[in-house]
Amino acid sequence: MNLDFKIKDLLLMCLIFLGTFSQGFAQGKDQNTFKTGADQPELYLPMLKDKTIAIVTNQTGLLKDKTHLVDYLVKNNIKIKSIFAPEHGFRGDADAGEKVKNGVDVKTGIAIVSLYGPNKKPKPEQLKGIDIVLFDIQDVGVRFYTYISSLTYVMEACAENNVEVIVLDRPNPHDGYVDGPVLKKKWESFVGMHEVPVVYGLTIGEYGKMVNGEKWLKNGVQAKYSLVKMQNYYKKKRYSISDKPSPNLPNDKSINLYPSLCFFEGTQVSVGRGTASPFQIYGSPWTKNLPYQFTPKPTSGAKDPFLNGQLCYGEDLSNYRNDLRELNLEWLLKAHKNYKNPQQDFFLKNLFFDKLAGSDELRKQIIAGKSEKEIKASWQSDLEKFKKIRAKYVLYEN
């Protein structure tokens, strides 16, 4: 009898071990076989052969071995006529909002054309002789992060000039969930071109597919659009990024907090530009009840940071959990409640806050003293409508 039990116990242990081993092996296999679009040249090199291309990329356009995509394509005899550089420039060292100049890439001699400032959309003459525009940028998955706006303008220009667009897909650090207010058409701008929530839960390749499919380009034009999908990508899993997407999003912590803290950019509160912890702290000289102190100073990524040289009081969120899957309004509401400055309103006079939020509703709700729960409840109807649109363009499993 005891022997039977021992044999059964042994069999059970073997089954548990095999199950755990096979699960771990499968996860390890997925990890090892995950590939970005750029890391599958066997799929896109044949599409580019004997074509003249332009490429939209920046410092994040890296292959797994850290070779830059531009260098890799040149080595493989792909004819690149020009590089289109988005906000922050081709090398990604320009501050937010800083004018990015045209120029020449020193390494390859290829012309660089800025897609920031007055020339956000490629002009017909800049697409002359181009067969394909290849797009490869690490996005952040947030509506007011401007790389999706650059993609939209590129697709629109290509549709109007009969040029094909190919997107090499990359992970979205805020994939697999949607949250935040949905933009209202009246508030369209470069920091929000479409009626989507702050966090829309799509990769940049899926997002472009949605823009094309919903006919959101000017005059309802549609681009000839191809997407090189990632291999073994799961939307709710988090992947390390190739390089920091912009100077003030230096790491996963900043990216994690970015959708919640970026609203401060429309207020008298600093998000830590000009410190070692941008988008990980917040504060102002007029929120003295808050415990953390810092002073913004010029850095390579913030040459003249907001509240430069002024002692700020706020909070340090650098140790906040690194897997935030919803917008956190607690900090915004807390800063507004503690803000004491008779000379200046909490919100900037230019109402940039409304552009970030996608309407004037959030600002009015904060002024009216609404709770986070009440504010979030007001988003739900629009979020449900968006989810139905989004569902048509989801290409990856959770």
- The reported pLDDT for the residue numbered 9 is 54
Task: For residues 282 and 31, give the distance between their C-alpha atoms in angstroms, rounded to a whole number.
Answer: 35
Q: Averaged over 177-181, what is the pLDDT? A: 98
Q: Which residue has the higher pLDDT, 300 or 350?
A: 350
Judge contact between 131 and 164, C-beta under 8 A: yes
pLDDT tens by residue, 58-116: 999 999 999 999 999 999 999 999 999 887 668 645 455 555 567 888 888 999 999 98
Q: Which residues pair with 68 in a beta bridge?
A: 62
Among 102, 212, 100, 230, smallest CA distance to 164 is for 212
- Write the CB contacts of 348 (distance below 8 Å, at least 6 apart in sequence): 266, 267, 268
Question: Could you tell me if 276 and 336 are in contact, meaning their C-beta atoms sit under 8 angstroms apart?
Answer: no
User: Rounded mean pLDDT of 218-231?
Assistant: 98
**What is the arithmetic mean of pLDDT over 197-214?**
98
What is the model's pLDDT at position 99? 53
pLDDT given at position 86 = 86
Please report the pLDDT score of residue 275 as a whole number.
97
Kindly state the percentage of the chain with pLDDT values over 70.
89
- Tell me which of 28-37, 151-160, 279-288 is least confident: 28-37
Asked if residue 164 has pLDDT above 60, the reply is yes
Radius of gyration, alpha carbons of the chain: 23
What mean pLDDT is reported for the chain?
A: 91
**pLDDT the model gives residue 157:** 98
Whether residue 25 is predicted with pLDDT greater than 70 in this model: the reply is: no
With 60 as the cut, is the pLDDT of residue 277 above it? yes
Residue 172 clears pLDDT 70, i.e. is over it: yes
Q: What mean pLDDT is predicted for residues 362-368? A: 98
Please determine, for residue 204, whether its predicted confidence score (pLDDT) is greater than 90: yes
The pLDDT, as a whole number, for residue 240 is: 85
The pair of three-digit structure tokens given for residue 394, joined into one six-digit string: 């989801």
* Percentage above 90 pLDDT, the chain: 81
Can you tell me the mean pLDDT for 166-182? 97
Return the closest-CA partner of residue 51 out of 166, 167, 153, 159.
Answer: 166
223-251 mean pLDDT: 94
Q: Which residues pair with 347 in a beta bridge?
A: 267
Look at the pTM and tell me if it is higher than 0.95. no
Q: Which domains does the chain have, with CATH numbers?
A: 41-228 (3.40.50.12170), 252-367 (no CATH)
Q: Which of 168, 225, 133 is nearest to 35 (CA)?
A: 168
Starting at the earlier edge strand, list the strands of the sheet with 281-284: 281-284, 312-316, 292-294
pLDDT of residue 301: 84
CB contact set of 266 (below 8 Å; sequence gap of 6+): 347, 348, 351, 352, 353, 354, 355, 356, 357
For the ranges 137-141, 237-241, 295-299, the lowest mean pLDDT is seen at 237-241
Whether the predicted pLDDT of 384 surpasses 50:
yes
